[in-house]
A = this chain, B = another copy of it.
Amino acid sequence: MIWPEPLYHAHDIFRETPMTDPKKTDLKTKILSAVQGDLAAIETALTRHLAPHFELVSQVAGHILFAGGKRFRPLLTCLAARLCGLDDPKTAEFSIIFEYLHAASLLHDDVIDEADMRRGRPVAGKVWNNAIAVLTGDFLMSRALSIAMDTGIHRILKIIADVTNNMSQGEIQQLARKGDVTLTQAEYLEVIHYKTAVLFEGACHAGGLLAGADSSRCEALSTYGYHLGIAFQMADDLLDYTQDLATLGKRAGADLREGKMTLPLIHALSRASEKDRDQMVSLVGKPDFSDGEFSELVEKLYHYEGIAYTQAQTTRHADAAKTALSGFKDGPDRELLMLLVDYAHHRQS
């Protein structure tokens, strides 16, 4: 049940598609075979923690949780804990905090974005309704909190508070600035830090805390998670302009259509001629631009180096993530955490 369905959602790092490059296929196989045990333990924990609740709650939560998510965040917790010397089946049990928080935010996002499909299936708001989707998100958030309480580690609770606080604010800020072509790179970085990277950061930090690691190791893990999260989101934002439509089964240009300002566009706009700038700006938030208009815009993103610049920034953050782990002894868990960075990074192509 671990890789059962085609994945259409950009939040999944192990998306099935751009893996035609044999080097990348190797990478995926290598990662998957190394983390099989963790993934199985995570699946068991996810199922077990839903069971005692109202049937409908379990159904709706299961709809989002068991639709091909790749457990990237709980996996980070498990690997970070093991890197700090903890090899305990309880880690997987606790790691699902971060999958629940992620699923909760996806449920709310789908209501917010008025999405129809996620991971190749209709979203919960369409199968049931928006009300059920909002409330199941709330329920999963409260489950995450309950499991965090079971760890008995106060600082993990603080992570949950900070993560939920920042994620909601990041999403609000993103919404508030939709279609705002004056968004700066610094503001973009703040948004993706809050909406995406804090959860990666928290998942890694929590792994260290579970293992009883000292504050310098916990900080190194947080730094790793931060840069990984930023690289992950930047690669995702790149894909929205560069992905192969036919293979991905998802229409490109979704961010542009929604008026979501991301780095490729922000950078290109800052360098474009007035005429080109006006032309690009005219498509931001336009619900019905043509394929031709989109292709022209993508060409401009290449021309004004919005793509190259974002790729370079992604590389910079991927490198910084790896550097953050330099203080840890070399070994299979550190190697896996490095491979996950490569995986996130390679999505850009």
Contact = CB atoms under 8 A, between A and B. Distances in A.
A111 B131 contact: yes
A139 interface: yes
A178 to B, nearest CB: 10
Interface string A184-207: 000000000000000000000000
B111 A172 contact: no
Given A130-B111, A172-B57, A173-B54, A165 B143 contact: yes
A139 B112 contact: no
A53 to B, nearest CB: 7
Interface residues on A, range: 35 or more
Contact of A169 (B53, B111, B162): B53
A135 interface: yes
Interface string A139-153: 101110110010000
Contact of A111 (B134, B162, B165, B175): B134
Contacts of A183: none
A349 interface: no
A135 B175 contact: yes
How many copies of the shown chain assemble into the complex? 2
A158 B113 CA distance: 32
B112 A172 contact: no
A160 interface: yes
Contacts of A131: 111-113, 171, 175
A136 interface: yes
Given A112-B134, A131-B111, A145 B164 contact: yes
Nearest to A165: B142
Interface in A120-145: 130-132, 134-139, 141-143, 145
A169 B139 contact: yes
A56 interface: yes
B169 A54 contact: yes
A317 interface: no
A344 interface: no
A168 interface: yes
A176 interface: yes
A135 B57 contact: no
A161 interface: yes
Contacts of A154: 149, 154
A111 B111 CA distance: 10
Contact of A57 (B54, B132, B158, B169): B169
A154 B143 CA distance: 16
Nearest to A56: B176
19 contacts: A56-B173, A57-B172, A111-B134, A112-B135, A131-B175, A132-B172, A136-B168, A136-B172, A137-B138, A138-B164, A139-B168, A141-B141, A141-B164, A142-B168, A143-B165, A145-B157, A149-B154, A149-B157, A154-B154
Given A53-B169, A145-B157, A149-B158, 5 more contacts: A57-B168, A108-B138, A131-B175, A138-B141, A138-B167
